[in-house]
Amino acid sequence: AGRQTRFRELAQAVCSRLCREFPHYSWVGVYLVEGDRLKLWAWDGPEPTQHVEIPLNAGLCGWAASTGQVANVPDVRKDPRYLQCFVSCRSEIVVPIARDGKVYGEIDIDSDRLAAFSADDEQFLKAVCAILAERAAADAEVRAVGGRTT
Ligand code: SME
């Protein structure tokens, strides 16, 4: 039995797989909390984001990481928390990667469709994040930098 895949590699595989398999997931990223900000650890999509670091007090991403709650926004143009990234983005979901009172980070997904994310997406992504949280908690690199106690 080999060593477990590092969190960073797992996060990259998850982003690429989600982006490829779900046409309404236009851009998929994993951010981790490092101190007072989020840092982009993995992503997949048609283009890179300029937001490789996001303060915890900014954007839907900061909101989800600081509250530990899911942000599921059907129309980003109508949400004052939204921090613009891609002009084509219409809806966005951010799901915390959290476990045992600790928020490690989140999955952030942008969609070019309005109201792209259903209750099924939300449930599915929570299950994916539960696996990522388990692996974050077990990863030395993540433990060294990451997480925020709620
Ligand atoms: N829209 C996000 C910023 C990150 S990009 O979507 C990749 C937000 O409101 O936090």
Residue 30 has pLDDT above 80, yes or no: yes
Residue 2 lies in a domain: no
pLDDT digits (tens, 9 = 90+) for 65-110: 999 999 999 999 999 999 999 999 999 999 999 999 999 999 999 9
Q: What are the residues whose beta carbons fall under 8 Å from the beta carbon of 32, sequence distance 6 or more?
A: 38, 39, 41, 97, 104, 105, 136, 142, 145, 146, 147
Residue 150 lies in a domain: no
Residue 56 lies in a domain: yes
In this prediction the ipTM stands at: 0.97
Count of structural domains within the chain: 1
Residue 131 lies in a domain: yes
- Reduced to 3 states (helix: H, G, I; strand: E, B; else coil), residue 51 is coil
How close is the Cα of 131 to the center of ligand 1, in Å? 23
How close is the Cα of 62 to the center of ligand 1, in Å? 9
With a Cβ cut-off of 6 Å, ligand 1 is lined by 29, 49, 51, 54, 59-61, 82-83, 85, 92, 108, 110
Q: How confident is the model at residue 2 (pLDDT cuts 50, 70, 90)?
A: low
Which pLDDT belongs to residue 1?
Answer: 45
Supply the range of the domain harboring residue 119. Answer: 7-141
Residue 59 lies in a domain: yes
pLDDT digits (tens, 9 = 90+) for 110-131: 999 999 999 999 999 999 999 9
Q: What are the residues whose beta carbons fall under 8 Å from the beta carbon of 47, sequence distance 6 or more?
A: 27, 86
Residue 146 lies in a domain: no
Give the domain CATH number at 56.
3.30.450.40
Residue 1 lies in a domain: no
How close is the Cα of 67 to the center of ligand 1, in Å? 16
Residue 43 lies in a domain: yes
**Regarding predicted confidence, which is higher, 146 or 136?**
136
Q: Quick one: average pLDDT of 28-44?
A: 97
